[in-house]
């Protein structure tokens, strides 16, 4: 059966309602529907280039182009742009791996749609960060693994959306990638645990690993600037995720041709 493209307006409408009614939305993710690659992928990449201004304004109380040198501003925003697309691709690849571990038969188009719904919550974080303009508290954590290059972690207002992400992840696990799609207490508890593991693995491990590696490279004192290293690390991560996604896409195309 031919895979239909989800109209962009309907895709964003479903992404919003997935935050409020995740059970209904994720149970309706159809294997015969997919996102519009030519519109959604550029949108995902460009979203944080523009909304990164808002996030940094809320976190630093000043517009970046007024406080930072031009090369630093470009480095920050280009890194945000690459990380935005990489996060979506990484979610798709991670969902595919988990689905194969639990022998679930979710298709690549289903996982791409589910990853977009989850990415949409993350993309709304700059709007929630506007609470900092009203003196909402933010916290900084410092990890000193390298003596001269501490790694910083920021807890900001956008984290208030984490419960929505965990709720969506639970129903993604239940309906698409995790333990059996049943209503038993055991399976629900296992899927809750899997959702919490994925959110911690994604935020505390993968994101923190990137910061950790950047600090490690800078600690070698090779003379590279922070944002040059950050752009390089983001480009490598984006390339690896893109190659994995392309392989999955070609596999999906081959499977569909076999069915025909």
Looking at residue 182, its pLDDT comes to: 65
Q: How far apart are CA 71 and CA 33, in angstroms?
A: 41
Helices in the chain by DSSP H: which ranges?
8-20, 22-27, 37-60, 64-67, 70-101, 108-123, 125-128, 162-172, 185-200, 208-219, 226-259
Residue with the two structure tokens 């304004």: 57
Looking at residue 49, its pLDDT comes to: 76
Q: How far apart are CA 61 and CA 138, in angstroms?
A: 12
Q: How far apart are CA 35 and CA 98, in angstroms?
A: 21
pTM of the model: 0.84
Residue 65 DSSP label: H
What CA–CA distances, in Å, run from 212 to 10, 30, 152, 159, 222? 39, 38, 9, 21, 16
pLDDT in tens, the chain (260 residues): 578 899 989 999 999 999 999 999 998 898 889 999 998 889 888 887 777 777 777 777 777 767 677 767 777 777 778 878 888 888 898 889 888 888 888 889 999 999 999 999 988 888 888 888 888 887 766 655 555 555 566 778 888 898 999 899 988 888 888 877 666 777 778 888 888 877 777 665 556 555 555 555 555 555 556 666 677 777 887 888 889 888 888 888 776 665 55
Surface-to-core class of residue 213, CB atoms within 10 Å of its CB (0-12 exposed, 13-18 middle, 19+ buried): middle
Q: How far apart are CA 168 and CA 230, in angstroms?
A: 30
Q: How many domains does the chain have?
A: 1
- For 143, the 3-state DSSP assignment is strand
The first and second tokens of residue 172, run together, are 């993604």
Report how far apart the first and last C-alpha atoms of the chain are (Å, whole number). 8
Looking at residue 174, its pLDDT comes to: 87
Its domain, for residue 137, covers 4-259
Q: 4 Cβ partners below 8 Å, 6+ apart? A: 32, 33, 34
Looking at residue 235, its pLDDT comes to: 81
Looking at residue 117, its pLDDT comes to: 95
Q: 19 Cβ partners below 8 Å, 6+ apart? A: 120, 121, 164, 167, 168
Q: What does the CA dihedral 215, 221, 224, 227 come to, rounded to 10 degrees?
A: 20
Looking at residue 145, its pLDDT comes to: 52
What CA–CA distances, in Å, run from 180 to 57, 118, 183, 200, 209? 44, 21, 9, 22, 31
Looking at residue 222, its pLDDT comes to: 54
Q: What is the 3-state secondary structure (H, E, C) of 6-46?
A: CCHHHHHHHHHHHHHCHHHHHHCCCCCEECCHHHHHHHHHH
Surface-to-core class of residue 85, CB atoms within 10 Å of its CB (0-12 exposed, 13-18 middle, 19+ buried): buried
């Amino acid at each position: 059966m031919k895979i239909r493209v989800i109209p962009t307006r309907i895709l964003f409408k479903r992404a919003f309602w997935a935050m409020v009614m995740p059970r209904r939305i994720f149970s309706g993710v159809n294997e015969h529907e997919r996102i519009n690659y030519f519109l959604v992928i550029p949108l995902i990449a460009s979203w944080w280039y523009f909304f990164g201004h808002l996030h940094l304004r809320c976190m630093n109380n000043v517009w970046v182009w007024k406080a930072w040198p031009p090369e630093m501003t470009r480095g920050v925003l280009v890194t945000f742009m690459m990380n935005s697309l990489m996060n979506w691709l990484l979610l798709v690849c991670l969902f595919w791996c988990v689905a194969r571990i639990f022998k679930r038969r979710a298709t690549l188009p289903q996982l791409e749609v589910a990853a977009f719904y989850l990415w949409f919550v993350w993309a709304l974080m700059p709007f929630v960060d506007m609470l900092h303009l009203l003196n909402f508290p933010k916290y900084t954590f410092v990890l000193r693994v390298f003596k001269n290059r501490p790694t910083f972690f920021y807890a900001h207002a956008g984290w208030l959306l984490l419960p929505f992400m965990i709720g969506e992840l639970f129903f993604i696990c239940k309906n698409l990638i995790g333990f059996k799609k049943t209503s038993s207490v055991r399976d629900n508890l296992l899927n809750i645990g899997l959702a919490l593991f994925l959110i911690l693995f994604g935020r505390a491990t993968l994101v923190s690993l990137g910061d950790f590696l950047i600090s490690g490279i800078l600690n070698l004192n090779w003379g590279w600037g922070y944002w040059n290293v950050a752009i390089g690390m983001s480009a490598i991560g984006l390339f690896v995720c893109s190659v994995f996604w392309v392989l999955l896409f070609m596999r999906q195309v081959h499977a569909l041709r076999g069915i025909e």
